[in-house]
Amino acid sequence: STTDIETMLGHFKAAAPDAPAPTAIDFVAGELRIKGLDASASAIATMSAKLRPQGYSVRQDADALLIKEERFR
């Protein structure tokens, strides 16, 4: 499944291979929240460009990076 934590973490690591280890990972209802990355807007845009073809959206949400499956048209 594209919404299980292992698959999503694998896609994240492929999109951001040089990202530091997160301080926390939360996974609820197919949404992956990764905390402690301190990602810049350009880094988030790069991750988003790499993950969108896989069917995921990426955005900053408070102190976490939020990755979730989307149905793009």
Give yes or no for a contact between 49 and 42, defined as CB atoms under 8 angstroms apart: no
Sorting pLDDT into bands at 50, 70 and 90, what band is 71?
Answer: confident
* pTM: predicted TM-score of the whole model, two decimal places: 0.86
Q: What is the pLDDT of residue 28?
A: 92
pLDDT beyond 70 at 72: no
24-66 residue pLDDT tens: 999 998 899 999 988 888 999 999 999 999 999 999 998 899 9
3: nearest Cα among 34, 33, 30, 32: 30
pLDDT beyond 70 at 73: no
For residues 59 and 29, what is the distance between their CA atoms, to the nearest angstrom? Answer: 17
Give yes or no for a contact between 72 and 52, defined as CB atoms under 8 angstroms apart: yes
